[in-house]
Chains A and B, each alone.
Chain A
Amino acid sequence: MSRRPLRWVSALFVIALLVAGCGSPGDAADSDEIKIAVVGPMTGDAAQYGEDFTRGAQLAAEQINAAGGVDGKQITIVTFDDRNDTTEAASVAQKIATDSSIVASMGHFTSSTVYAAMPIYKSNQLPLVVISASDPGITEQGNEWVFRVSPTNNLGAEAMADLIVNELGLKKIAIFYLNTDFGKTEREFFTARVQANGGEIVLDEPYQPDAKDFSSSIIKLKNAGADAVYLSSYYNDAVLLIRQAKDAGVETRWFTSAAVLSPQFTEIGGEAVEGVITNRVSQGDSWDAVAEAYRAKYNDDPSPFVIYAYSAVQAVAEAARSEGTSREAIRDGLAKIQGLETALGPLTFDENRQAVYESFDYLEVRDGQFQLWQP
């Protein structure tokens, strides 16, 4: 007697699950909105980057919608938190991919999280636009659902190796790198280019993602006789390393990966990070225009990740305009993009669905800000 209600509840529950689980793919195309998922670290150490993603995407959506949307359809941004964790990235990707109202996803901050999530986008046939992860391998896997608007780290690292060794004539170089996909690949490209240019790596030091104490590495640096140090790091590790090295009396010149570009870098680093040099892809007038709108809205300078996120939304909008708003149409539309005017300047995807980049700007921290710098 008492079992029957339970059985009914179970049955209802199963039915509810089935209904929730399988929307027909046709839903999205008929809808009057284009829903894009923005996924990244919305909480935790790297939450700043997640906020950059969200703000950049929102700003682009607002401006496109204000100009009439995509053939009358409005762009909607929904955010998801992968906590910068590979396990979480995979399960969030699954959640996004099974929501049939979402027609494109963008983000996952690190290369490790993108690698964890990529196969899920592919098996669910949802296009992913990568906007920060910089391991070149991501777009060399033949995964036709994955596009990238941000540059690969070999480009920035190789440009930096040319600057340090060829232009500045600094030959003895120490490198610190984050022991992750991002750090390891960047180190590989940087090291190879330094050696090709006739420089020497005098210290090659990995560190763990949660490292806060760099004492032993800094003692090695103190005794390595390096003319320059290159950091394959995010801003929080880079700040701690530079600060602790300066406290320990290390005198050298500091160069970093573009991944440190964040107002937090100069805020936490203070006087310790003055003179640190990094690079980023060259920015044109369209970049400045978006930066202006961003400042007006948030009263803050945008990081490059804001611009990448903004451009990714522009690319998805263009794809929807040219091919239609189903997941597959957007994928096809993205693949066809050639010379599209975006916040990044003209955007073209190569045959691996990687945005093409050619020139770099150098930035130096001066008076607590990243400022353009000429070698």
Chain B
Amino acid sequence: MAAVTLPVLIDQLVSGLAIGGVYALVALGFALIFGVLRAAQFAHGEVYMVVAFLVLAVLPWFPALGALQFLLVIVAAAVFGAIAGMLIERGVFRPLADAPHIAPIISTIGLMILLQNLVAYLKGSELHRFALAWPQGNVPVGPASVPVLKLVIFGTALVIPALLQVALARTQLGRAIRATAIDAETARLMGVNTARTSLVAFAIGSALAGIAGVLVGALYGVVYSTMGVTALVKGYAATIIGGVGNLVGAVAGGLLLGIFEVFVASYVSPRWTDAIVYTLLIVLLALRPQGLVGRAIPEKL
């Protein structure tokens, strides 16, 4: 193995932050939806996958003009994601609002399987090339040279949660979402339209998943019908690391998971990455069920 030098460490750190940023976006959306609806959205990874395929389908219509194309891709992903999220909220969650908690979980698992197979049927289960005109090449970061793409992905994964945080803190709707997340019953008594709030939370959470889907497509250069499974597992793991229902924790958890994976793959072996990561996750759940940074809140996950 090559010696551990500063450029190598920087390179590894940037890789970890890029993939960690993707996990963070997935986890953030998952946590937002869970916070408001108190139910796990197991088809969250399929939103990520379906959006990536939809964006791939409209990609030829976007001008291949570097950063503009990238921006359009992000916006399109957010829009597709939001639409998908609202459809799922209306179609799968709303009708089951008064059903036992297990019901929406089962129905999202059903949706997950349905969407995976539908895409595999329509588009085939092979890899599909997902190439963006920008960003490409490498830039120097200190003594290292790292891919611009990874920096951009990490940047996007920081900016979007920051914007969301501001929106949640400063806007009327943001306050409504937070109030619903803390106590839906009381929020409703205080005049918050909780039905609309959960629709909005679903739209935003799914938009985040959509953005994560195109970012990972750009990172790997391909999209495929089963990509949502990994996203769900990693996003869920990141949510647990950060503390379920904790938005800042979800982002921190995603980034930590990404960095940790790269370092285990680099200094132990890629063969053991998942085994080690999930073992630690079980240990973490046993020792700190509220997550690394979270406070304990009552759960139904």
Contacts and interface: CB of A to CB of B under 8 A. Distances in A.
A301 interface: no
B8 A249 contact: no
A367 interface: no
Nearest to A179: B271
A206 B220 CA distance: 18
Given A223-B2, A270-B131, A216 B220 contact: no
B248 to A, nearest CB: 25
A219 B129 contact: no
A239 interface: yes
Nearest to B221: A243
A192 interface: no
Interface centre among B5, B263, B271 (most CB of A within 10 A): B271
Interface string A230-264: 00000010011001100111000000000000001
Contact of B126 (A48, A213, A216): A48
A222 B230 CA distance: 27
B270 A206 contact: yes
A290 to B, nearest CB: 24
B43 interface: no
Interface stretch (A39-47, A94-102, A109-117, A125-133): A39-47
A222 B1 CA distance: 11
A11 B153 CA distance: 64
A247 B136 CA distance: 7
Interface residues of A, number: 36
Nearest to A202: B2
Interface string B234-259: 00000000000000000000000000
A217 B137 CA distance: 18
A223 B263 CA distance: 16
A244 B222 CA distance: 11
A220 interface: yes
Contact of A45 (B15, B125, B262): B125
Interface string B1-34: 1110101100110011011000000000000000
B125 A220 contact: no
B296 to A, nearest CB: 33
B172 interface: no
Given A213-B219, A219-B11, A207 B2 contact: no
B262 A215 contact: yes
B124 A219 contact: no
A211 interface: yes
A216 B8 contact: no
B129 A268 contact: yes
Interface of B: 1-3, 5, 7-8, 11-12, 15-16, 18-19, 120, 124-129, 131, 136-138, 145, 147, 149, 219-222, 224, 226-227, 230, 261-263, 265-266, 269-271, 273-274
22 contacts: A44-B125, A45-B126, A45-B127, A203-B1, A207-B270, A207-B271, A208-B274, A210-B230, A212-B220, A212-B227, A216-B12, A216-B261, A216-B263, A219-B15, A220-B1, A223-B5, A239-B127, A239-B222, A240-B127, A240-B221, A247-B136, A247-B149
Interface of A: 43-45, 47-48, 179, 203, 205-208, 210-213, 215-217, 219-220, 222-224, 236, 239-240, 243-244, 247-249, 264, 267-268, 270, 272
By Cβ-Cβ distance, the 8 closest A-B pairs, closest first, are A223-B2, A215-B15, A216-B265, A216-B266, A249-B138, A219-B11, A243-B221, A268-B129
